[in-house]
Amino acid sequence: MPTQTKSQKQIQNLHDSLEDIKTREGVVGYILRASKSAAVDIKDPSKIINYAALSAAVLESGEGISKIFNLGEIETIILEGADTKILSIIVGDNRLSIFMEKKVDHSTIYKDLNLT
């Protein structure tokens, strides 16, 4: 069996962390898109399409704005709405958005993703 690369390990860790994070109070779900696949787990299925479109827009715009203002590599993008917020990150080819209630501490969620 071939040895896992660092990046593959990171993605596996990410999947494991998400399984835990999604059960936490106030976490609404997540969308993880890779180049050829996507994992979607949103508590209210009627919101999946809207959330997917929003997630894609946040990440695309975030990357664009980062380039315009020379922010360097994106660490996190936090979008806050009236009652929900989104933590978006880019890990290699993977683009993750975690949806949560506004009261949830997104920095704890980010830490618990164990990306470093």
Partner 1 sequence: MSREVFVTALRNSLREIRNICHDVKFSFLFTWDGALVAEDAQAEGTMMENAVHLFKSVAEKAVTIGGLDTLMIDGDNGRVYISSADDMYLALVMSKDADVAYLRSVTRVIVPTILKLLESVVPTPLKFMPSQQLVVDNLSGFRSRLAGDTVEIDHEILKQWSELIDGKDVNEVEIEAFSGKKARCRVRAIEDSKLVGNGLIRIPEKPFQALEVKKGELVRVKPLAF
Using the CB atoms, write b or e for 76-106: b if 16+ within 10 Å. Answer: ebebeeeebbbbbbbbeebbbbbbbeeebeb
Residue 43's SS3 state is: coil
Residue 2 CB, nearest distance to partner 1 (Å)? 31
Q: How many residues does the chain have?
A: 116
Q: Would you give the binding string for partner 1 spanning residues 9-48, x where CB under 8 A is met?
A: --------------------------------------x-
Angle at 114 between CA 86 and CA 32, to 5 degrees: 45
Task: Choose which of 19, 24, 65, 111 interacts with partner 1 (CB under 8 A).
Answer: 65
Cβ distance to partner 1 smaller for residue 25 or 83: 83
Task: Choose which of 78, 92, 108, 111 interacts with partner 1 (CB under 8 A).
Answer: 78
Around Cβ 34, how many Cβ atoms within 10 Å?
A: 14
Task: Choose which of 11, 32, 42, 77 interacts with partner 1 (CB under 8 A).
Answer: 77
Catalog residues that contact partner 1 under the rule CB under 8 A. 47, 50-51, 53-54, 57-58, 60-62, 64-66, 68-86, 99
